[in-house]
Amino acid sequence: MTEKKTPTEATSEVVVPERTNSRRRFLMGAGAVVGTSAVAWPMAGCQPAAEPAATPTPAAAPAHKAPSSHVAPGQMDDYYGFWSGGQSGEVRIMGVPSMRELKRIPVFNRESATGWGATDFSKKLLGGRMAGDTHHVHLSYKDGTYDGRYAYVNDKLTARLARIRLATMECDKIVEIPNSQGTHGIFPQRHKTGLVLCNSEFRTPQVNDGRDMKDPSKYAAMHTAVDGETMEVKWQVMVEGNLDLCATDYEGKYSFACCYNSEGGVTLEEMMAADLDHLYVFNLAEIEKAVAEGKTITVGNSKVPVVDARGADSVYVMRIPVPKSPHGVNIDPTGKYACCAGKLSPTVSVVQIDKIADAFAGKIKPRDCVVAEPEVGLGPLHTAFDNRGNAYTSIFIDSVMTKWNIADAIDQYGGGSANPIRAKVDVHYQVGHTNASMSETKEADGKWLVALCKFSKDRFLPVGMLHPENDQLIDISGDQLEVVHDGPTFSEPHDAVIVRRDIIETIQVQDRKDERFAMYEAWAKEDGVELQSTNKVIRKGGNKVRIYITSQAPKFGMNEFSVKAGDEVQIIMSNIDNVQDLTHGFAMCQHDVSMIVNAQDTQSITFTASSQPGVYWYYCNWFCHALHLEMRGRMFVEA
% of the chain surpassing 70 pLDDT: 90
Instruction: With beta carbons less than 8 A apart as the criterion, state whether 433 and 495 touch.
Output: yes
Tens digit of pLDDT for each residue in 543-568? 999 999 999 999 999 999 999 999 99
Q: Is 513 exposed, middle or buried (0-12, 13-18, 19+ CB in 10 A)?
A: exposed
- Domain range for 200 is 177-324
448 within some domain = no
Q: What length is written for the chain?
A: 639
Confidence of residue 274 (pLDDT cuts 50, 70, 90): confident
Structural domains in the chain (count): 2
Inform me whether the pLDDT recorded for 60 exceeds 90. no
Q: What is the pLDDT of residue 3?
A: 39
143 within some domain = no
Single-letter amino acid code for the residue at 443:
E
Region 81-108 average pLDDT: 97
Of 287, 306, 324, the residue that ends a domain is: 324
Indicate the SS3 state at residue 516: helix
Of 324, 341, 366, the residue that ends a domain is: 324
* Dihedral sign (CA 492, 497, 498, 504): negative
Tens digit of pLDDT for each residue in 163-182? 999 999 999 999 999 999 99
Q: What is the pLDDT of residue 42?
A: 35
Region 251-280 average pLDDT: 90
Single-letter amino acid code for the residue at 625:
H
255 within some domain = yes
Single-letter amino acid code for the residue at 399:
S
117 within some domain = no
541's CB contacts (< 8 A; 6+ apart) are: none
Region 470-493 average pLDDT: 95
% of the chain surpassing 90 pLDDT: 84
CA dist., res. 157 & res. 174, Å (int)? 14
Q: What is the pLDDT of residue 263?
A: 83
Inform me whether the pLDDT recorded for 39 exceeds 90. no
CATH number, domain at 563? 2.60.40.420
Of 324, 356, 391, the residue that ends a domain is: 324
Q: What is the pLDDT of residue 457?
A: 85
Inform me whether the pLDDT recorded for 58 exceeds 70. no
SS (H, E, C) 427-459: CCCCEEEEEEECCCCCCCCCCEEEEEECCCCCC
From 203, 105, 108, select the one nearest 154 (Cα to Cα).
Answer: 108
459's CB contacts (< 8 A; 6+ apart) are: 428, 470, 486, 488
Beta-bridge partners for 222: 238
Rg (alpha carbons) of the chain, rounded to whole number: 27
Region 428-446 average pLDDT: 97
Mean pLDDT of the chain: 90
Strands in 38-158 per DSSP E = 79-84, 90-96, 100-106, 137-142, 145-155
Q: What φ, ψ does residue 521 adopt, rounded to 5°? A: -65, -35
Instruction: With beta carbons less than 8 A apart as the criterion, state whether 305 and 291 touch.
Output: yes
CA dist., res. 181 & res. 312, Å (int)? 23
Q: Is 14 exposed, middle or buried (0-12, 13-18, 19+ CB in 10 A)?
A: buried
Least confident of 63-67, 97-101, 359-363, 377-381: 63-67
150 within some domain = no
The number of helices, as runs of H, and strands, as runs of E, in the chain is 8, 40
Region 443-469 average pLDDT: 94
462's CB contacts (< 8 A; 6+ apart) are: none
CA 342 from chain center: how many Å? 20
Q: Give whole-number Cα distances, 609 to 399, 559, 565, 639, in Å.
A: 55, 17, 6, 11
Nearest 5 degrees, angle CA 499-CA 504-CA 505? 170
CA dist., res. 552 & res. 98, Å (int)? 35
359 within some domain = no
Region 435-455 average pLDDT: 97
Q: What φ, ψ does residue 377 adopt, rounded to 5°? A: 140, 175
Q: What is the pLDDT of residue 491?
A: 86
Inform me whether the pLDDT recorded for 10 exceeds 50. no
215 within some domain = yes
Inform me whether the pLDDT recorded for 346 exceeds 90. yes
285 within some domain = yes
Region 317-331 average pLDDT: 95
Q: What is the pLDDT of residue 63?
A: 55
Q: What is the pLDDT of residue 64?
A: 61
